[in-house]
Chains A and B, each alone.
Chain A
Amino acid sequence: MTPETCTLAAGAGDGQRTGVRTGVRTWVRTWVRAWVRAGLLLAGLLLVSLAACRGGPGPARRGATAIDPGSATRGGTGASEGEVSTAFGTWRVAWRSVPAPVPLNTPFAVEAWLRPAGGDGSWEGDTWDGGAAGDVQPSLVIDAGMPHHQHGMNRTPELSRLPDGGFRADGMLFHMPGAWTLVFDVSRGGITERAEVVLTVGE
């Protein structure tokens, strides 16, 4: 209840009519301001969420908890984002699930960014070291499975590129609870190197 509303309720006669007009204007102004504020708030929220979904170069750059490189190719149990090395340490992969944490039996996406382990730290994918493989850009395949159950996902994720050079796998689905292994296969020049992250879902 606003003070203007209290005045309106208290007015009478001409004074009351004038008071009514004034009260109506005040009421309209108040509601317009409220709608403008709400719109600005919504727009702000939208911008923030867009930036979170598309603009960021991965959790490592945003200060997310990085996986200890000493753990080689293994990520942390229950993690929904992190950074991991491929098996021979050639590449670093920063990744996150969308949404987080990884849901059980609900489709989700995984986004990932690559950089050479010995590079300048750039995640954009434009600083490959060349070498024998020339300027061939690396490719990344994202998949998952349950090694203890000897099966993979029951659907094939759809891979695409992000505007910032990252990779996105849509249509991931962990259809049963337990330990899943998320794999990142990085290929260039005929050699594919794998990084693994173990995720426990629904337990």
Chain B
Amino acid sequence: MRPNLLPQRWSRGALLVVWLVLHGVAPLRASQDVEGRYGMFAAQVDARREPYAAAFLPDGRLAVLERGAPGVVLIGVDGSLTPRWGVRGDLPGQLERPSGLTATPEGTLLIADTGNHRVQEFTPDGRLLRVVVGAGVLRSPQGLTLAHGRLYVADTGNHRLVVLDREGAALTTIGEGDLRRPADVAVDAAGRVYVADGGHHRVVRFGPDGRLDSAWGERGPFPGLFVEPAGLAWHGDRLYVADRDNHRIQVFTSEGVRLYEWGKHARRPREGEGHLHYPDGVAVAPDGASVVVCESFADRWQVFRPAEGEATLYAADPALVSGGASPHFGPPVAANDELIVLIQPETQSVQVFRMGEPPLMITRFGGYGDGVGRFLQLTDVALHVSADEQTHVLVCDGDAGRVQEFRLERDASTAVRFDPAMAHLMRAVDLSVVLAAHGWGTAVVEPRAIARDAEHVYVADGRGRRVLVFDAGWRCLGVTAEGRDAVDLALGEDGRLWVLDGGRREVAVFEAGGGAEVASLAGEVLFDRPGGIAVGRGGRVVVTDTGRHGFVTLPGEDGVPSMLGAPGLGAGEFFKPRGVAWLPDGRLVVVDHGNHRAQLFEADGTFADAFGARLYVREARRSANR
């Protein structure tokens, strides 16, 4: 059933280059007369399945952890490749979206099994040794490191670090109240602990006693600032930070003094060879000969060697990062008969397009910030037409834990034009406070998806793994879909709620108003990594599949599921599609997230048009014309 959309391509030539670089074989081994700076591109390995973290084993082999097809790839000291091992699932020894990897002095591998909320220890060839710590302690752990006889785990979902002994017994926690979505952790020789504090866009340093003693950086593109720092490595006396959304690696002293950076933003689709695109993980070879950078978004990893020449040759251009490059669309999308609403993650703003050929942007609002009217982490949008026929946009903010509602004030009789003042904030709802005020407990809510009809507002709580049901005045009516890892929501014409469960790769259907589950479609044979769901007229259901770069149309009464899409730039081709919405005229809009565009399809699935970044739209139109 599953189409082979991503063949396991592995360039032997690239592997040889990688091996040469990793092991410092001349001529790739650079002299150390360049003040120890890295940044010169040496090699890359493409067509992987979301490589997210890397670690060097004591015997010199390199282990790379992949999330897309959960498992580990080893490159031996002789350049040999060990086929990826790992089985997706939740049984002991299986993995689900693993996001952290470290090697022990004994030569075993500790893996943060993020989707299963645990840490497991494996031999390098994939034999499970033990479950070190389980779901009762951790929630969506990511980075981890072993130092001074202790295991430090970025307990991302609980916004803290957990420190365990070598046997896995929890010793203490660090950073509770100071961290937001910590992504990785590193420890220096003095026992100081560095944390990539992703949600706060900074690096935090804790003393050996666990007390916060330093923090640096804030959100921004300029040197020393960060956007979603994701990976850390401590080597020698330097801290290497994978500054993910700034597409670069920044290097600091232990005191937070920035030394240099490398990583140019890509200018062409999939451009690598030294150009970085959302680097997640960074690992420095023990002998310092090379640095490996994992880029899960680009499905590749690259190797860098010590730099030669001026540091500016390798540094990122802040202007390019902050707006000069094509921004992405999505992940979410909402649409009605006149408007398409998307988000721009780089700026944390909401963009509204008026339907047309092509759709034209008529306003943009929001921007990064914790104040009312701004956003920390946009996760979903919904459109709603009020009783007085005003168009409202509801916006989910995961980090802020709130939903904000805006009114679009526009004159449909005037010519289409961009109006920066069109959106007016009406209401901001702090979900945790609202729940507490109504006696629904004090749990922190992290809204991930939203759906709205005339009577109800449904909010998927990613932290609580449930869907909250509110009335139009934000009084909580109840909870449904408990235990579901809802990544998107959709409403059918009959008012039933469709929940896309990313963890189980299922679609579950609930009665209107948050009633009982009435049906579920086991999707693991249908979806690799579901991204978004839309329910159209006549119960037509479409689910985007980020892992397979396409979308699945679920069967009608007598139909069969059909998959449309393939990886690529052409019409009907995608790169990690996410949000999807039906238009009232029967067309479909799909957020082609990795291709910086949205694509429109006719009801029969034929390509209609695309809009977004010019370079990517042009490719789609060219291929359609061919």
Known interface pairs A133-B437, A134-B437; A194-B427 also in contact (CB < 8 Å): yes
Interface string of A118-160 (1 = CB under 8 A from B): 0000000000000011101000010000011110000000000
Q: Does B424 contact A (CB under 8 A)?
A: yes
Q: Does A16 contact B (CB under 8 A)?
A: no
Q: Does A13 contact B (CB under 8 A)?
A: no
For B372, what are the chain A residues with a Cβ–Cβ distance below 8 Å? 141, 185, 192, 194
- A191-B434, A192-B372, A194-B427 are known contacts; what are 4 more A-B pairs with Cβ within 8 Å? A134-B437, A147-B420, A148-B420, A190-B433
CB contacts under 8 Å to B, within A170-196, are 181, 183, 185, 189-194, 196
Known interface pairs A132-B475, A147-B420; A193-B437 also in contact (CB < 8 Å): no
How far, in angstroms, from A87 to B619 measured CA to CA in the complex?
44
Known interface pairs A87-B407, A148-B420, A150-B420; A192-B437 also in contact (CB < 8 Å): no
A193 (CB) vs chain B CBs: closest residue: B427
Interface string of B491-518 (1 = CB under 8 A from A): 0000000000000000000000000000
Inter-chain contact B434/A189, CB cutoff 8 Å: yes
Q: Does A73 contact B (CB under 8 A)?
A: yes
Interface string of B423-439 (1 = CB under 8 A from A): 01111111111111110
Known interface pairs A132-B475, A133-B437, A150-B420; A191-B427 also in contact (CB < 8 Å): yes
With a 10 A CB-CB cut-off, give which of B407, B421, B438 has the most chain A CB atoms. B421
Q: How far is the CB of B424 from chain A (nearest CB, A)?
A: 6
CB contacts under 8 Å to A, within B319-340, are none
Which of A134, A147, A192 contacts B428 (CB under 8 A)?
Answer: A192
A134 (CB) vs chain B CBs: closest residue: B437
Interface string of A59-84 (1 = CB under 8 A from B): 00000000000000100000000000
Pairs A-B, 7 closest by C-beta atoms: A190-B433, A147-B421, A87-B426, A190-B434, A190-B430, A192-B428, A189-B437
A190 (CB) vs chain B CBs: closest residue: B433
A198 (CB) vs chain B CBs: closest residue: B421
Inter-chain contact A148/B427, CB cutoff 8 Å: no
For B427, what are the chain A residues with a Cβ–Cβ distance below 8 Å? 87-88, 191-194
Q: How far is the CB of B403 from chain A (nearest CB, A)?
A: 10
A-B contacts, 18 of them at CB < 8 A, read A73-B424, A87-B426, A88-B426, A132-B475, A136-B437, A148-B420, A148-B421, A183-B425, A185-B428, A190-B429, A190-B430, A191-B429, A191-B474, A192-B429, A193-B426, A194-B425, A194-B427, A194-B428
Known interface pairs A132-B438, A132-B475; A189-B420 also in contact (CB < 8 Å): no
Q: How far is the CB of A149 from chain B (nearest CB, A)?
A: 8
For B433, what are the chain A residues with a Cβ–Cβ distance below 8 Å? 189-190
Interface string of A78-101 (1 = CB under 8 A from B): 000000000110000000000000
For B432, what are the chain A residues with a Cβ–Cβ distance below 8 Å? 190
Interface string of B404-420 (1 = CB under 8 A from A): 00010000000000001
Contact-residue bracket for chain B: 20 to 34
Q: What is the interface of chain B mostly: helix, strand, loop, or mixed?
A: mixed
For A134, what are the chain B residues with a Cβ–Cβ distance below 8 Å? 437
For B435, what are the chain A residues with a Cβ–Cβ distance below 8 Å? 190
Contact-residue bracket for chain A: 20 to 34
A195 (CB) vs chain B CBs: closest residue: B426
B363 (CB) vs chain A CBs: closest residue: A147
Q: How far is the CB of B364 from chain A (nearest CB, A)?
A: 9
CB contacts under 8 Å to A, within B366-398, are 372
How far, in angstroms, from A185 to B371 measured CA to CA in the complex?
11
For A141, what are the chain B residues with a Cβ–Cβ distance below 8 Å? 372
CB contacts under 8 Å to B, within A28-76, are 73
How far, in angstroms, from A170 to B464 measured CA to CA in the complex?
41
For B437, what are the chain A residues with a Cβ–Cβ distance below 8 Å? 132-134, 136, 189-190
How far, in angstroms, from A177 to B425 measured CA to CA in the complex?
23
How far, in angstroms, from A149 to B419 measured CA to CA in the complex?
10
For A149, what are the chain B residues with a Cβ–Cβ distance below 8 Å? 420
How far, in angstroms, from A192 to B429 measured CA to CA in the complex?
6
Which of B420, B424, B431 contacts A190 (CB under 8 A)?
Answer: B431
For A136, what are the chain B residues with a Cβ–Cβ distance below 8 Å? 437
How far, in angstroms, from A4 to B37 measured CA to CA in the complex?
98
For B429, what are the chain A residues with a Cβ–Cβ distance below 8 Å? 190-192
For A192, what are the chain B residues with a Cβ–Cβ distance below 8 Å? 372, 427-430
For B434, what are the chain A residues with a Cβ–Cβ distance below 8 Å? 189-191
With a 10 A CB-CB cut-off, give which of A88, A141, A148 has the most chain B CB atoms. A88
For B475, what are the chain A residues with a Cβ–Cβ distance below 8 Å? 132
How far, in angstroms, from A136 to B433 measured CA to CA in the complex?
12
CB contacts under 8 Å to A, within B282-314, are none
How far, in angstroms, from A197 to B87 measured CA to CA in the complex?
59
Q: How far is the CB of A85 from chain B (nearest CB, A)?
A: 11
Known interface pairs A133-B437, A141-B372, A189-B434; A194-B426 also in contact (CB < 8 Å): yes
For A73, what are the chain B residues with a Cβ–Cβ distance below 8 Å? 424, 426
Interface string of B73-101 (1 = CB under 8 A from A): 00000000000000000000000000000
A150 (CB) vs chain B CBs: closest residue: B420
For A87, what are the chain B residues with a Cβ–Cβ distance below 8 Å? 407, 424-427
Q: How far is the CB of B1 from chain A (nearest CB, A)?
A: 46
For A133, what are the chain B residues with a Cβ–Cβ distance below 8 Å? 437
Q: How far is the CB of B450 from chain A (nearest CB, A)?
A: 16
Q: How far is the CB of B329 from chain A (nearest CB, A)?
A: 20
B438 (CB) vs chain A CBs: closest residue: A132
With a 10 A CB-CB cut-off, give which of B430, B432, B436 has the most chain A CB atoms. B430
How far, in angstroms, from A189 to B434 measured CA to CA in the complex?
6
How far, in angstroms, from A148 to B372 measured CA to CA in the complex?
18
How far, in angstroms, from A132 to B437 measured CA to CA in the complex?
6
For A189, what are the chain B residues with a Cβ–Cβ distance below 8 Å? 433-434, 437
Q: How far is the CB of B155 from chain A (nearest CB, A)?
A: 26
CB contacts under 8 Å to A, within B474-497, are 474-475
How far, in angstroms, from A136 to B438 measured CA to CA in the complex?
13
Q: How far is the CB of A147 from chain B (nearest CB, A)?
A: 3
Q: How far is the CB of B404 from chain A (nearest CB, A)?
A: 9
B420 (CB) vs chain A CBs: closest residue: A150
How far, in angstroms, from A190 to B432 measured CA to CA in the complex?
8
Q: How far is the CB of A116 from chain B (nearest CB, A)?
A: 14
For B420, what are the chain A residues with a Cβ–Cβ distance below 8 Å? 147-150
B476 (CB) vs chain A CBs: closest residue: A132
For A196, what are the chain B residues with a Cβ–Cβ distance below 8 Å? 424
How far, in angstroms, from A185 to B429 measured CA to CA in the complex?
12
A183 (CB) vs chain B CBs: closest residue: B425
Q: How far is the CB of A56 from chain B (nearest CB, A)?
A: 29
For A132, what are the chain B residues with a Cβ–Cβ distance below 8 Å? 437-438, 475
For B430, what are the chain A residues with a Cβ–Cβ distance below 8 Å? 190-192
How far, in angstroms, from A73 to B390 measured CA to CA in the complex?
14
For A193, what are the chain B residues with a Cβ–Cβ distance below 8 Å? 426-427
How far, in angstroms, from A109 to B438 measured CA to CA in the complex?
36
How far, in angstroms, from A192 to B433 measured CA to CA in the complex?
11
